[in-house]
């Protein structure tokens, strides 16, 4: 298999569907849960559902501060909603009643969760064009060739930006937000450049160290609220990108450390029950790689389950194997609501 010259020690065992697997007993229930998880509520996708939940939260918060006991009006109400919900803490307006303290506590707890959701949503959208591994192989080869060549620094700069466009885009957009917040304060209130930059960054980092003047126009309150509502998750993404560039992850030392850890009986029993690895208390090289991929976090048992489902959808030979032609021509059938033969959990 795959040109290694090795043969499977138990070729008649389908690792996607081990005989006698106890998982067969829970197939109907897990299939039902998988279908529900795909569509979420009322058929919405994950991104749509997150956006709806966020809009409901921001609407309730704005309405409370705009028309409730604080009676701030729409613009200041929205500003206060962001101020409390994102834990920015600009200092005013100020709550004075227990009902306001109670709502503020609820609002900031939910808001902290939604900021994390926003980070995930924006991150998904930002990384949406970087999920084609075969394309990445070609781009990496070109990138390494250009960067290893001598001279031509302008070409290297363009190639670096093109190769890291997703990260450059995130950091670039954050810098534009910083510039916008800075110039807004400089033009609107005559602040110095550094005072404006201090406002912009402390607001997006939820520090709230320099608020706008208390007698600012209502429209300014709304603009600052909107600026921060978008800027907080954006700065979180940008700082993650910058931090990962310095720290790095998944180095070969990390891989070796995980591979050198003892393999527990629980890990083996789980993979055996779910995918048939070590069915006869023996595993081959390919099964070891599959097990190691799960231990390293490169694959989840759930992802392997989806791979098995995809494999089952192809037209295969009588011996159960899959030809190159079947892969290249994609003889698989669409997986629209098809029940998985090997549903698994993430235990």
pLDDT of residue 147: 78
pLDDT of residue 44: 72
Please report which confidence band the pLDDT of residue 97 belongs to, taking 50, 70 and 90 as the band edges: very high
Decide whether 43-126 matches 150-247 in CATH topology. yes
- Any idea how long the chain is? 347
| Residue 41 region by backbone torsions, left for phi larger than 0, else alpha for psi between -120 and 50, else beta | beta
pLDDT of residue 159: 83
pLDDT of residue 12 exceeding 50, the answer is no
Q: How far is CA 23 from CA 14, 18, 270, in A?
A: 14, 9, 11
Least confident of 17-21, 120-124, 292-296: 17-21
The whole-angstrom separation of Cα 104 and Cα 110 is: 10
pLDDT of residue 73: 94
Question: Kind and range of the H or E element at 256?
Answer: helix 252-259
What pTM value is reported for the model?
Answer: 0.63
pLDDT of residue 174 exceeding 70, the answer is yes
User: Nearest 10 degrees: CA dihedral of 286, 289, 291, 297?
Assistant: -150
Please report which confidence band the pLDDT of residue 122 belongs to, taking 50, 70 and 90 as the band edges: low
CB 225 within 8 A of CB 83: yes
pLDDT of residue 99 exceeding 60, the answer is yes
pLDDT of residue 338: 40
* Mean pLDDT score, 228-253: 79
pLDDT of residue 333 exceeding 50, the answer is yes
* Mean pLDDT score, 135-158: 77
Which is higher by pLDDT, 336 or 182? 182
Question: Could you tell me the residue ranges of all domains in the chain?
Answer: 43-126, 150-247
Please report which confidence band the pLDDT of residue 189 belongs to, taking 50, 70 and 90 as the band edges: very high
Longest Cα–Cα distance of the chain, Å, equals: 79
The average confidence (pLDDT) of the chain is: 76
DSSP 47-73: HHHHHHHHHHHHHHHHHHHHHSTT--H
Q: How confident is the model over 150-170, as pLDDT tens digits?
A: 877 888 888 888 877 888 888
Please report which confidence band the pLDDT of residue 20 belongs to, taking 50, 70 and 90 as the band edges: very low
Which is higher by pLDDT, 279 or 44? 44
The whole-angstrom separation of Cα 309 and Cα 332 is: 10
User: Which CATH number describes the domain made up of 150-247?
Assistant: 1.10.287
pLDDT of residue 83 exceeding 80, the answer is yes
Please report which confidence band the pLDDT of residue 81 belongs to, taking 50, 70 and 90 as the band edges: very high
CB neighbour class for 27 (10 Å; exposed up to 12, middle 13-18, buried from 19): middle
90 secondary structure, DSSP code:
-
Q: Which CATH architecture has domain 43-126?
A: Orthogonal Bundle (1.10)
pLDDT of residue 213 exceeding 90, the answer is yes
Buried b (16+ CB within 10 A) or exposed e, 30-48: beeebeeeeeeeeeeeeee
Least confident of 34-43, 61-70, 76-85, 301-310: 34-43
Which is higher by pLDDT, 287 or 206? 206
pLDDT of residue 27: 43
* Mean pLDDT score, 271-280: 63
The whole-angstrom separation of Cα 167 and Cα 162 is: 10
pLDDT of residue 39: 52
First to last CA, the chain: 30
Please report which confidence band the pLDDT of residue 41 belongs to, taking 50, 70 and 90 as the band edges: low
pLDDT of residue 265 exceeding 70, the answer is yes
The whole-angstrom separation of Cα 49 and Cα 40 is: 8
The CB density around residue 67, as the number of other CB atoms within 10 Å, is 13
* Mean pLDDT score, 245-253: 64
Sorted by sequence, the CB contacts under 8 Å of residue 58 that are 6+ apart come out as 78, 81, 82, 85, 229
């Amino acid at each position: 298999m795959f040109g290694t010259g090795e043969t499977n020690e138990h070729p008649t065992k389908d690792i996607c569907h081990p005989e006698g697997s106890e998982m067969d007993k829970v197939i109907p229930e897990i299939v039902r849960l998988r279908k529900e998880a795909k569509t979420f509520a009322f058929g919405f996708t994950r991104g749509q559902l997150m956006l709806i939940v966020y809009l409901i939260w921001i609407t309730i918060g704005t309405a409370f501060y705009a028309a409730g006991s604080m009676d701030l009006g729409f613009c200041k109400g929205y500003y206060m909603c962001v101020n409390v919900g994102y834990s920015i803490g600009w200092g005013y307006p100020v709550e004075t009643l227990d009902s306001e303290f109670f709502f503020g506590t609820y609002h900031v707890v939910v808001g902290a969760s939604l900021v994390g959701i926003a980070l995930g949503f924006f991150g998904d959208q930002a990384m949406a064009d970087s999920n084609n591994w075969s394309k990445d192989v070609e781009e990496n080869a070109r990138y390494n060739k250009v960067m290893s060549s001598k001279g031509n620094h302008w070409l290297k700069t363009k190639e670096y930006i093109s190769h890291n466009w997703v990260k450059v885009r995130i950091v670039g957009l954050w810098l534009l937000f910083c510039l916008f917040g800075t110039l807004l304060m400089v033009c609107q209130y005559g602040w110095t450049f550094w005072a404006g930059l201090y406002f912009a960054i402390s607001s997006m980092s939820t520090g709230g160290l320099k608020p706008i003047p208390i007698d600012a126009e209502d429209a300014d309150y709304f603009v600052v609220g909107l600026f921060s509502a978008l800027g907080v998750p954006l700065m979180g993404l940008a700082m993650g990108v910058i931090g990962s560039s310095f720290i790095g992850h998944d180095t070969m030392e990390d891989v070796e450390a995980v591979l050198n850890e003892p393999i527990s009986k629980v890990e083996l029993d789980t993979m055996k029950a779910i995918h048939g690895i070590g069915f006869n208390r023996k595993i081959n090289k390919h099964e070891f790689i599959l097990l190691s991929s799960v231990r390293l976090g490169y694959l989840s048992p759930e992802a392997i389950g989806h791979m098995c489902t995809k494999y089952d959808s192809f037209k295969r030979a009588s011996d159960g194997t899959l030809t190159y032609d079947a892969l290249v021509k994609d003889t698989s059938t669409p997986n629209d609501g098809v029940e998985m033969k090997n549903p698994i959990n993430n235990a």
